[in-house]
Amino acid sequence: MDEQVNQKAEDVAANDFQEKVLNSDKPVLVDFWAEWCMPCLMMAPVLDDVAREMSDKVTVLKLNTESEGSREWAIKYDIRSIPNMKLFHKGEVVHEFIGFRPKEVFQQELEEALNKIA
């Protein structure tokens, strides 16, 4: 089975946020989402595609804002509206996306943001 093909945006637990997001050498895109948020559910397949197609440049992780311990991260990063996707590089937020975007538009904006930090 080809590992690349099955790669998806993975969940990150609040406990692992420091390690997997803030301490990562590679840029990390974090999707703050919740199950009751319909635009978030529509964003999910887009993020899975991006996770797969851009895996050489960025790691895509999902933080469920209703999951245990996640509220403090949502508060720390002033989440007021979801889906809210933040691009982290060396522990800092370098770009954010608020609200649903179609794949083409999202990917282009993400490429541009990644090019700036490259």
Give contact residues for another protein (rule: CB under 8 A): 34, 36-39, 41-42, 65, 74, 78-82, 84, 98-102, 104-105
Q: How far apart are CA 33 and CA 100, in angstroms?
A: 11
Catalytic residue list contains 34: no
Question: Of the residues 9, 21, 30, 37, which is catalytic?
Answer: 37
- DSSP label at residue 54: T
3 assigned to active site: no
Using the Cα atoms of residue 60, residue 64, residue 67 and residue 72 in order, give the sign of their dihedral.
positive
Nearer to another protein, 12 or 85 (CB): 85
Please state the closest distance from residue 9 (CB atom) to another protein, in A: 19
- The catalytic residue among 21, 28, 29, 40 is 40
Instruction: Give Cβ neighbours of residue 117 (< 8 Å, ≥ 6 apart).
Output: 27, 89, 94
Q: Supply the minimum distance, in Å, between the C-beta of residue 98 and another protein.
A: 4
The minimum distance between CB 24 and another protein, in angstroms, equals: 23
Q: Degrees (nearest 5) of the Cα angle 4, 102, 73?
A: 75
Which amino acids are annotated catalytic?
37, 40
